[in-house]
Each structure stands twice: as structure tokens, then as C-alpha cells.
């Protein structure tokens, strides 16, 4: 008999509730418990909290516009970057003045995309041009809402001087009566970018 070890299926990393005001630096802790304290087995959860020693940056989205943030490359305090789910959105980055600038774009027009390219930004993912990004659908018989969208986070490795954007295509199902949600990692990609010389 051969090796019968089974490789565990990788789970998506989902950002938990976001502290107000939503954008900025936070402390992150990773857990397998949902907001009600119930153990979940289909995902890991990144819980962000206000802290005097933050190690993560969160960037929300805005309807009909783009949001932006800057993370200094001169400090090694920020190890993680998180942003709102991307469903029709795109995520862009560029390096400038010893910082990485990141934009979460909600507009899907060619003009909006061109605006970032002209400004020197490079695209991490554009979910509006991807057929795997499936908007919400509800099964009238089961009251289960289904969607596929992108969840992107990044690991900042200050020692190796690089950022690794993890692009997760996630399938979500939510029972609208019981409010129970399940997640599945459909696909995982990685965009690794070296920091420029300081």
C-alpha cells in the first residue's frame, strides 16, 4: 500500500469586522472563531483591532471612486496589508518616496483603469475583467445566496525587501434565513514585488 496521507485543503483568509473608521493601521490576530465565538473550519479570520502597536494596514473601498493608502518602507512595523473584497474592483500599487502606494478602484471604466496606468501604478488584479468574478445570485428554493469574489491581502517582508500580494478567488454561500456563511478557496495567486532601493 502506498502513502495514504491526504493533503488538507487550503482555507481562504477572510478579514473579520473592521474597526471604525475603517482605514488605517491596526493590530491583526488570526483565529478560527467567527464574530459569535463559534469555531469555523472553512476559513481563517483576520481580526483587526485598534492598537498602539499596529502591524497591519486596512484599505476600504468607496462606491464610484478609488481609495488609497501609503505604507512606509523605512519602518518595518507593518507586516500585513488587507483591503475590502473585490467584486468588480481592481487593486493597484506603485513605489514612490520610500513608500508603497496602494489604490482600491471601484470604477470599472477603461478611463478609470487608464488613470492609474498613466500615474505609474501597476495592476495586481482587475476582477471586472475576470469571468470568475460572479455577482450575487439567490436560489429561491433554498434561500442560499452564492457569490465568487476576490479577497486580496499582502505580506510585507522587510528582511527580503518585498511585498507578496495574495490574490484569493473565494466562493461564498450564505443562507439568508439562518445567516450561516460558508467559504471555499477556489484559486490562489501570488504577485511578488521587490522593494526599490532606498
* C-alpha distances out from residue 90 to 49, 124, 132, 157, Å: 26, 7, 14, 23
Which pLDDT belongs to residue 17? 82
Task: Flag whether the pTM goes above 0.75.
Answer: yes
- Residue 112 burial by CB count (10 A; 0-12/13-18/19+): exposed, middle or buried? middle
C-alpha distances (whole Å) from 89 to each of 13, 20, 64, 84, 165 are: 19, 22, 10, 10, 15
Give the separation between CA 91 and CA 152, rounded to whole angstroms. 9
Question: Could you report the per-residue pLDDT of 119-164, keeping only the tens digit for each?
Answer: 999 999 999 888 777 778 899 999 999 999 999 999 999 999 999 9
Q: What is the pLDDT of residue 2?
A: 46
Rounded Cα distance, 147 and 133, in Å? 8
Q: What is the pLDDT of residues 155-197, one digit of tens each?
A: 999 999 999 999 999 999 999 999 899 999 999 999 999 999 8
Rg (CA), the chain: 18
The values of phi and psi at residue 113, to 5°, are -65, -40
Does residue 3 have a pLDDT over 60? no
Domain residue spans in the chain? 13-134+151-170+186-194
Amino acid at each position: 500500500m502506498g502513502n495514504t496521507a491526504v493533503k488538507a485543503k487550503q482555507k481562504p483568509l477572510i478579514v473579520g469586522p473592521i474597526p471604525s473608521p475603517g482605514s488605517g493601521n491596526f493590530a491583526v490576530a488570526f483565529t478560527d472563531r467567527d464574530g459569535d465565538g463559534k469555531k469555523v473550519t472553512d476559513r481563517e479570520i483576520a481580526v483587526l483591532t485598534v492598537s498602539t502597536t499596529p502591524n497591519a494596514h486596512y484599505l476600504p473601498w468607496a462606491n464610484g471612486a478609488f481609495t488609497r493608502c501609503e505604507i512606509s518602507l523605512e519602518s518595518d512595523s507593518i507586516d500585513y496589508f488587507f483591503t475590502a473584497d473585490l467584486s468588480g474592483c481592481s487593486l493597484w500599487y506603485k513605489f514612490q518616496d520610500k513608500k508603497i502606494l496602494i489604490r482600491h478602484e471601484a470604477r470599472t471604466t477603461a478611463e478609470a483603469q487608464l488613470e492609474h496606468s498613466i500615474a505609474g501604478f501597476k495592476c495586481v488584479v482587475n476582477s471586472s475583467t475576470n469571468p470568475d468574478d460572479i455577482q450575487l445570485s439567490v436560489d429561491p428554493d433554498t434561500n442560499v445566496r452564492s457569490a465568487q469574489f476576490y479577497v486580496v491581502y499582502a505580506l510585507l517582508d522587510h528582511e527580503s525587501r518585498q511585498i507578496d500580494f495574495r490574490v484569493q478567488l473565494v466562493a461564498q454561500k450564505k443562507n439568508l434565513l439562518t445567516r450561516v456563511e460558508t467559504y471555499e478557496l477556489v484559486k490562489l495567486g501570488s504577485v511578488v514585488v521587490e522593494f526599490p532601493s532606498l
